[in-house]
Amino acid sequence: MQENRNIDTNTVNYLEEFKETIHSFSPITKASWDLVKGIAKVRNVRKGEKLLLHGHHAKFIYYIAQGTLRAFYIDDSGNVFNKNLFLDKEICASKVSLLRGIPSFLGIDALENSIVISIPFNQFSAFIHENDDLKNFYIAYIQNIWIIEREQRELSLVMQNATERYQALLRKHPDIEHRIPLYHVASHIGITPTQLSRIRKEIKNADLQHM
């Protein structure tokens, strides 16, 4: 696994990519984009850095320009469990904490050197209420990511076998196994590291047979 990735600090490009991501859900006007851009902050986040601690109130949503963030929780015995991974061009947040204004049950940290765009949720929420185009984006995002994609992921745990889930993840993020430890990949698709090792070996052997 590579320990460091080259980080491009071209802020303008990352903000443009963020704008394109917003437009992929619903178009917004230049005036609305200027509002969002005005509260956006591009940050370099080092591997292992915590963006949100358990028990703290979430204040930001994070657009991942480059890298991998993890949302995780810790049980009463101190065991850490991954809830979800968020990769390039995805948005990460502790949704319940943001929406209900309560301490977060989740922590968020970086699994590799990353670049994120942080957006203060309270200010963004105010913009949503004042601008219909931002409201349309917000609704479209919730429908597609928080509802549809979440349901599809839950269904995949039942309808797809572990190999199919692993291959689907590789199609979406071909380089993920070179970026983060494999036990995080295993956790993300709901299997053990031992199971993932066996699946990877089976796929490799099958590829060799077809050469």
Record the tokens describing residue 183, joined without a space.
């036990």
What are the pLDDT tens digits along the chain (211 aa)?
Answer: 444 455 455 788 999 999 999 999 999 999 999 999 999 999 999 999 999 999 999 999 999 999 999 999 998 888 888 999 999 999 999 999 999 999 999 999 999 999 999 999 999 999 999 999 999 999 999 999 888 887 887 888 888 999 999 999 999 899 999 999 999 999 989 899 999 999 999 998 887 666 5
What does the pLDDT read at residue 3?
Answer: 46
Phi, psi values for residue 142, rounded to 5°:
-60, -45
Closest CA to 66 of 121, 134, 11: 11
Give this prediction's pTM: 0.86
What does the pLDDT read at residue 11?
Answer: 86
- Decide: helix, strand or coil at residue 13: helix
- Decide: helix, strand or coil at residue 165: helix
The DSSP result for 113-132, as a single string, is SEEEEEEEHHHHHHHHHH-H
Domains of the chain and CATH, by start? 11-130 (2.60.120.10)
Strands 114-120, 60-66: pairing is antiparallel
